[in-house]
Structure 1
Amino acid sequence: MARRAIRLDSIEHLPGQTRVAWRRTRLAIPLAALAGIAWPPIIATLLIWPPENWMPGRDIDWRIVLLVLGCVAVPAGLMVIRRERDRRGRPGTRLGIVWRFMLYGGLLAAALQTLVALLMVVIGLVSSSDLLQGIGATETTLLIYGVGGLPIAVLVGVSYALWAGLCAAFIAFVPAPEKVRDRLGLMGETG
């Protein structure tokens, strides 16, 4: 039995590696942003278990907060992708677009969770009655919001960003036309 050698002359044979360009329709980017914001786990859980408190305040549901963050982060991610593509031409593939969203989503989730942990530490220190109680509140807060909450926040952020990146890559982008090689030298500038 003869084995057939697999040759990868071009990386474009792998899934997600075809070159892409922005879709020309005006509704593609807003539609990609809306689809990216509507992460199915959030929408499904909001429909199945409606939150008790919809208004901002002390006991607002975390799903509402996540949805509001998505309303800001997904369009901002599309703007960052547009700016990066205008400057450097990258990311040029659907896989690259999804990876950028996942990277930025994970970093944003980690930064926001760290900020929440630091704010909770400050609140615990201010509300404590003496130094030892403040140190205990700081330790507990860092264990709960830092050590326990940070991995969960990053996991949720990357998952949300994966969905938003897939929506952006498949709704706002289309396969780019093939580049034409100038074999005869006729396409160059004439002096």
Structure 2
Amino acid sequence: MRTPERLSELPGRGRVRWRDSAPMFAILACLSGAAWPPLVLTLPIWPPANWRLGPEMDWRLIVLAVGLAATPIGLYLVARERDRRGRPTGRLGIVWRFLLYGGAGAAALQIGATVIVTVMGWFEAGGVAQAAGASETTILIYGVGGLPIAILVGVSYALWAGLCCAFIAFEPQPEVRDRLGLMGEQA
């Protein structure tokens, strides 16, 4: 087995750039990134019982709506980081950024939902002891039990979105040849 002479020869490490018609490909990447296969495939098989907004809405529709909002935000954060620092330069870096943003975003959303449901429980409680019991139960169910599941779903969704964005919105950057001999070997 041949070892790569340069690190950029490893899969996903080659330099990439935005495609020439970047807005069209970025929109296509965001739409395909939001269409996470487990959601898209299960919606026709098991149609949602309730399509209306509210607490009774099917969780798959909520996750799909979050994906439709989070994928362009993730692509924007990658573009902003590329403008500021020049990184990530390869597809692997783009996917890693999406994994980081997806895991952190899912954790933040789950913690936010836990806080909201806990505060709602305070207003529905009949007394201080009942409010404390409701808070404990809510934090155990949504915070302790739901947080790892939310992070797993968020990272999985982000992996799909990152792969879609890395391969649809970006193309390999042509290698720059040293025509004048000025680039030389850099230490």
Specify the TM-score bucket, using the shorter chain as the normaliser. over 0.9
User: 1:184, CA displacement in angstroms?
Assistant: 3.5
Gaps of 5+ in 1: 187-191
The residue number in structure 1 matching 2:119 is: 122
The residue number in structure 1 matching 2:173 is: 176
| Cα distance between partner residues in 1 of 2:69 and 2:54 | 19
Q: Mark the structure with the bigger radius of gyration.
A: 1
How does 1:11-90 map onto structure 2 within 5 Å?
A: 11-25=7-21, 26-90=23-87
User: 1:8, CA displacement in angstroms?
Assistant: 4.0
Tell me how large the CA RMSD over aligned residues is: 1.6
| Cα distance between partner residues in 2 of 1:19 and 1:40 | 28
User: 1:185, CA displacement in angstroms?
Assistant: 4.1
Aligned residues with identical type, % of pairs: 54
Please tell me the residue identity of whatever aligns with 1:98: V
User: 1:27, CA displacement in angstroms?
Assistant: 1.8
User: 1:93, CA displacement in angstroms?
Assistant: 0.4
The residue number in structure 1 matching 2:104 is: 107
| Cα distance between partner residues in 1 of 2:153 and 2:70 | 14
| Cα distance between partner residues in 1 of 2:155 and 2:57 | 22
CA displacement, residues 71-108 of structure 1 (integer Å, 9 cap, x when unaligned): 11111111111111111111100000000001001000
CA displacement, residues 116-168 of structure 1 (integer Å, 9 cap, x when unaligned): 01111111111111111111111100110000000000000001100000000
The residue number in structure 1 matching 2:161 is: 164
Moved over 3 A (4+): 6-9, 182-186
CA displacement, residues 3-48 of structure 1 (integer Å, 9 cap, x when unaligned): x8x5543112221111111111242111111100111100111111
The residue number in structure 2 matching 1:189 is: none
TM-score, normalised to structure 1's length?
0.90
3-state SS of the aligned residue for 1:100? helix
How does 1:89-100 map onto structure 2 within 5 Å?
A: 89-100=86-97
Matched residue count? 182
